């Protein structure tokens, strides 16, 4: 029996009607095939990459940029929503400061710079800064895998990063900003209108430099998106599955899938964000909306949806290894039944 047949037997041989656990069975099968070996336990780790974005100078958010540092500190101190989600589900997490605009670091200090530049005026990052952010993402994954992690999930923190991710998606697809730019955190109609203009004009400003996906990320992206994208590519290299969170991580995934198509074999969706570009971003990596398990109208980020999915997957792995097997049942032969005439 080959490995794929063994995976099918493990899932289909449990004492339940076939496919009765729906998407949980589908994604469990994907995890087992990604690992390439049977393992009775998920050992997860969640990474939150935090950075500031220079484009906030354009009035694309309703919150002050200082929130990035303050909320990242809350995460480190165990007082943010994502911290509580992780703690409630016994999932270890790390906050990685890849570019918060504050002299002190929040979490693991891997600052590339004190935020990106305003892409309405110049490229968001230099080639050197891009390469540094890319290395950080890969190194975080490699370190976690060395310590025994076999499932990763990703979140982010950065005021203005729905604008940078919308810009990357617009650059990647050419889809009009009206279809991919959403309100973000606490946006108003006026902020939404401004964001759409900024995304359109910002991408147009740098369009001539777009010779690769990396150029798009460097020109209009953020350090958090770059690090997450690199982390996802490294997951594929390490043969470790990962869970996508909301819009920002979905855009990072769309880029990762274009850079290395093998990344698609390791990606698990979690929830469908309120951001309008979410479905487009997932589709670029061949994940259909119907494959997304959680519909909770969430838009927080940080990886909250991803952690809920990791918890569901942990439950599914435990169940599939501990539930009774169909082959253990002793069934009597059904007796012939005389049906009444109708």
Nearest C-alpha neighbor of 105 from the set 159, 52, 165: 52
1: pLDDT confidence band, cut at 50, 70 and 90? confident
Examine the pLDDT at 175 and tell me if it is beyond 80: yes
- Confidence (pTM): 0.95
Q: Range of 124's domain?
A: 3-326
Cβ atoms of residues 95 and 74 within 8 Å: no
Tokens representing residue 255 in the block: 């880029």
212: pLDDT confidence band, cut at 50, 70 and 90? very high
> Can you give the pLDDT at residue 217?
98
332 domain residue, yes or no: no
Residues 240-257 pLDDT 10s: 999 999 999 999 999 999
**Catalytic residues, which ones?**
302
336 domain residue, yes or no: no
| Other C-beta atoms lying within 10 Å of the C-beta of residue 139 | 16
Cβ atoms of residues 149 and 45 within 8 Å: yes
Angle, CA of 199, 264 and 108, to the nearest 5°: 65
333: pLDDT confidence band, cut at 50, 70 and 90? confident
Examine the pLDDT at 70 and tell me if it is beyond 90: yes
331 domain residue, yes or no: no
140 domain residue, yes or no: yes
Beta-bridge partner residues of 109:
97
Count of the separate structural domains present in the chain: 1
9 domain residue, yes or no: yes
Q: Stretch 163-179: mean pLDDT, rounded?
A: 97
Distance in angstroms (rounded) separating the CA atoms of residues 192 and 194: 5
Residue 77 DSSP one-character state: T
Distance in angstroms (rounded) separating the CA atoms of residues 310 and 314: 6
User: Considering the chain, what is the average pLDDT of its residues?
Assistant: 95
286: pLDDT confidence band, cut at 50, 70 and 90? very high
Nearest C-alpha neighbor of 44 from the set 258, 285, 217, 303: 303
Q: Provide the phi-psi class of 144: left if phi over 0, else alpha when psi is between -120 and 50, else beta.
A: alpha
Q: Could you tell me the CA-to-CA distances from 282 to 28, 150, 227, 304, 313 in Å, in that order?
A: 19, 22, 18, 17, 20
Examine the pLDDT at 194 and tell me if it is beyond 90: yes
207 domain residue, yes or no: yes
> Can you give the pLDDT at residue 276?
94
| Percent of the chain scoring above 90 in pLDDT | 88
Examine the pLDDT at 334 and tell me if it is beyond 80: no
> Can you give the pLDDT at residue 330?
73
CATH of the domain at 122: 3.40.50.10210
| Percent of the chain scoring above 70 in pLDDT | 99
85 domain residue, yes or no: yes
335 domain residue, yes or no: no
């Amino acid at each position: 029996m080959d490995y794929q047949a063994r995976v099918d037997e493990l899932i289909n041989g449990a004492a339940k009607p076939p496919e009765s656990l729906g998407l949980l069975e589908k994604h469990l099968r994907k995890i087992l095939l990604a690992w390439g070996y049977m393992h009775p336990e998920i050992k997860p780790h969640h990474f939150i990459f935090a950075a500031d974005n220079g484009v906030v100078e354009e009035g694309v958010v309703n919150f002050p940029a200082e929130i990035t540092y303050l909320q990242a500190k809350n995460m480190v101190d165990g007082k943010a929503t994502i911290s509580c989600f992780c703690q409630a589900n016994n999932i270890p997490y790390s906050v990685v400061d890849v570019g918060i605009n504050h002299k002190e670091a929040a979490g693991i200090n891997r600052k590339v710079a004190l935020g990106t530049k305003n892409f309405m005026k110049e490229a968001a990052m230099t080639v050197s800064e891009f390469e540094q952010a890319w290395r950080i993402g890969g190194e975080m994954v490699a370190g976690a895998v060395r310590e025994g992690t076999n499932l990763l999930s990703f979140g982010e923190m950065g005021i203005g990063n729905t604008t940078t991710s919308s810009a990357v998606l617009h650059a990647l697809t050419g889809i009009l900003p009206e279809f991919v730019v959403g309100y973000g955190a606490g946006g108003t109609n006026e902020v939404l209108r401004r964001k759409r203009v900024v995304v359109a004009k910002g991408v147009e400003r740098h369009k001539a430099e777009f010779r690769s996906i990396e150029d798009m990320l460097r020109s209009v992206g953020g350090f958090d998106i770059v690090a997450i994208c690199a982390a996802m590519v490294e997951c594929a290299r390490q043969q470790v599955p990962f869970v996508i969170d909301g819009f920002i991580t979905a855009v990072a995934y769309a880029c990762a899938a274009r850079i290395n198509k093998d990344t698609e074999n390791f990606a698990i969706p979690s929830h469908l964000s309120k951001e309008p570009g979410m479905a487009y971003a997932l589709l670029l990596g061949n994940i259909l909306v119907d494959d997304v398990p959680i519909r909770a109208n969430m838009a927080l980020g940080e990886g909250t949806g991803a952690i809920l999915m990791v918890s569901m997957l942990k439950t599914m792995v435990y169940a599939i290894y501990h539930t009774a097997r169909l082959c253990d049942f002793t069934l009597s032969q059904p007796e012939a039944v005389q049906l009444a005439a109708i």
